[in-house]
């Protein structure tokens, strides 16, 4: 028996044979050609087929992992239509008189290298997308399309790395788990694994010779067993059965209250990225939506979404939630979330730059359009609005003036709107330190622990070199959360957490004892956290 350790992406136990997954990559030969027009037509045909495939993947992902996670395939479709990419391929074919495969592979390498060398984290991440698209095109041109086939029996997929498109194409009935050497906990593929409840490990020193061998993935400990002995196999099988029983028991918690043994009620809400994600919220019995990331309406559009399009999206979610709270975060772009048509300038330090509420207060027309759509939708359900990246009381007062002016406009036109709670995200040390003053202005706080940790520790959360010292459990971060809760409550303001830390079950009891009122997490975490809440006491 061999034993390896890696970083766990999703907890769970998988037992089965290994399939060493190879991308089917082949050396792309440079072939001198005479008829450049024919090669350009081959490229255009391949591009059309790739677009068709990506649309199919988007629709498949939409059903299996929700709108927010499927958005990557819309990004890939847009990149297929990029004029610079197309011009490069055509130019190489015409000037060098070479085959389409070589032109696509060269362009892909050039663009991926260019993106990888950029300082902006968003554009760095696009390097993997360009590579994925180029490999798809080359495979179509060369007739080498595997389609993610895994064989007849369920397997543990072992690979150097997996692109999101490869993960989604795989038959979920045949995919027990995956183990890769590369990848990160924040990659698209890792997010898909968590959404699909598939045990996964990264950073494992894989070997091709494992193909066909029996193995066990222990997502709880991050351990990978190759050819496990009888004792280990028996132990892991028992652990897997316990895991299945635990998941079945969680289903019995549907419809139960989120209340501690000593009677403290908690609002247990879910985070979503779009309208389609509401299905998962309802399936997991969340009490409401604590974070609707409205920026996905902008990220998925080719131009500024108009008031009507936004109104329909917010209205649909509000109606589907049937009176349960829906908290929509206003536009939060900038930093690692870039939208081409906003034409944002390159920044040396985008995480601390022109982003979120700073864009909204500067470009008032965009902000007012979103607020009008939200207020109109509030007539159809229980909508709350929260504003990201707040650092001053003046910002909040200015926002409230804008909201009141829009309400006056709607009233004058006879357009109905409902009662809307307004809150802010606490993401900066500045907001924490003046949270007593901010609490006087708003109905609620929602603590964004991802950015709060980043700014408190002065650590770029996208920088993998700093993973060893990025500590969301740091005493300074926890004290910031405690201070925010205390100041909020003094002014009658309820306080929640919508960042990743809200789903950290090692801290659930700590948060409840601090006095937190709400936790908003990914839908799949709702029932496990409900179980924990119902078993603990805050005294």
Structural domains of the chain ordered from first start: 2-21+148-233 (3.50.30.10), 36-142 (1.10.274.10), 250-535 (3.20.20.60)
Cβ–Cβ < 8 Å for 124, 134: no
Say whether 139 counts as a known binding-site residue: no
pLDDT value, residue 23? 63
Which pTM does this prediction carry? 0.65
Say whether 451 counts as a known binding-site residue: yes
Over the stretch 381-407, which tens digit does the pLDDT of each residue have?
A: 999 999 999 999 999 999 999 999 999
pLDDT value, residue 1? 87
pLDDT value, residue 534? 94
Cβ–Cβ < 8 Å for 29, 103: no
- Rounded distance between C-alpha atoms, residue 383 and residue 438, angstroms: 21
> In Å, what is the CA distance from 333 to each residue of 115, 191, 299, 479?
20, 20, 9, 28
pLDDT value, residue 211? 86
pLDDT value, residue 152? 66
- Which residues fall within 8 angstroms of residue 408, CB to CB, at 6 or more apart? none
Phi then psi for residue 79, to 5 deg, are: -70, -30
- Which residues fall within 8 angstroms of residue 313, CB to CB, at 6 or more apart? 274, 275, 297
Residues of the chain with pLDDT below 70 are: 23-26, 63-69, 71, 119-125, 144-152, 163-169, 171, 184-196, 334-338, 461-462, 464
Cβ–Cβ < 8 Å for 385, 421: yes
Say whether 461 counts as a known binding-site residue: yes
Q: Which residues are catalytic?
A: 188, 498
pLDDT value, residue 195? 62
pLDDT value, residue 207? 87
Say whether 376 counts as a known binding-site residue: no
pLDDT value, residue 148? 52
Cβ–Cβ < 8 Å for 161, 24: no
- Rounded distance between C-alpha atoms, residue 148 and residue 151, angstroms: 9
């Amino acid at each position: 028996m061999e034993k390896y350790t890696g970083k766990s992406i999703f907890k769970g136990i998988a037992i089965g044979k290994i399939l060493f997954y190879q991308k089917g990559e082949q050396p792309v030969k440079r072939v001198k050609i005479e008829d450049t027009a024919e090669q350009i037509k081959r490229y255009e045909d391949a591009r059309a087929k790739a677009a068709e495939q990506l649309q199919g993947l988007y629709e498949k992902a939409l059903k299996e992992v929700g709108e927010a996670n499927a958005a990557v395939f819309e990004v890939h479709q847009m990149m297929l239509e990029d004029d610079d990419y197309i011009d490069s391929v055509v130019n190489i074919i015409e000037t060098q008189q070479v085959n389409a495969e070589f032109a696509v592979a060269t362009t892909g390498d050039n663009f991926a290298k260019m993106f990888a060398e950029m300082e902006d984290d968003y554009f760095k991440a696009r390097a993997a997308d360009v590579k994925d698209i180029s490999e798809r095109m080359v495979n179509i041109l060369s007739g080498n399309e595997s389609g993610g086939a895994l064989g007849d029996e369920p397997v543990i997929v072992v690979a150097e790395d997996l692109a999101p498109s490869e993960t989604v194409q795989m038959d979920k009935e045949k995919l027990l788990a995956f183990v890769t050497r590369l990848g990160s906990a924040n990659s698209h593929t890792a997010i898909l694994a968590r959404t699909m409840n598939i045990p996964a490990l990264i950073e494992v020193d894989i070997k091709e010779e494992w193909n066909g061998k029996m193995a066990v993935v222990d997502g709880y400990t991050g351990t990978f067993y190759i050819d496990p002995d009888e004792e280990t196999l028996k132990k892991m099988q028992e652990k897997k059965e316990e895991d299945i029983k635990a998941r079945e028991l969680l289903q019995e918690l549907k419809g139960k209250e989120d209340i501690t043994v000593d009677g403290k009620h908690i609002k247990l809400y879910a985070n979503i990225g779009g309208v389609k994600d509401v299905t998962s919220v309802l399936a997991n019995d969340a009490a409401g939506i604590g974070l609707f990331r409205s920026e996905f309406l902008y990220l998925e559009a080719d131009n500024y979404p108009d008031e009507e399009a936004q109104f329909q999206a917010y209205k649909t979610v509000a109606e589907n939630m049937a009176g349960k709270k829906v908290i929509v975060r206003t536009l939060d772009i900038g930093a690692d979330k870039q939208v081409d048509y906003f034409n944002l300038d390159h920044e040396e330090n985008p995480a601390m730059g022109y982003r979120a509420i700073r864009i909204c207060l500067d470009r008032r027309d965009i902000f007012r359009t979103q607020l009008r759509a939200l207020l109109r939708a509030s007539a159809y359900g229980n909508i709350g609005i929260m504003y990201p990246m707040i650092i001053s009381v003046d910002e909040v007062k200015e926002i409230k003036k804008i909201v009141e002016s829009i309400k006056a406009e709607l009233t004058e036109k006879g357009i109905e709107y409902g009662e809307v709670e307004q809150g802010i995200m606490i993401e900066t040390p500045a907001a924490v330190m003046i949270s007593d003053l901010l609490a006087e202005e708003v109905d609620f706080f929602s603590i964004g622990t991802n950015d709060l940790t980043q700014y408190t520790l002065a650590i770029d959360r996208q920088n993998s070199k700093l993973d060893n010292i990025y500590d969301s459990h740091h005493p300074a971060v926890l004290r910031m959360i405690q201070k925010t809760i205390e100041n909020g409550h003094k002014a009658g303001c309820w306080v929640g957490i919508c960042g990743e830390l809200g789903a950290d079950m090692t801290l659930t009891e700590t948060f409840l004892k601090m006095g937190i009122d709400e936790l908003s997490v990914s839908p799949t975490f709702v029932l496990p956290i409900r179980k924990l809440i119902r078993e603990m006491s805050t005294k």
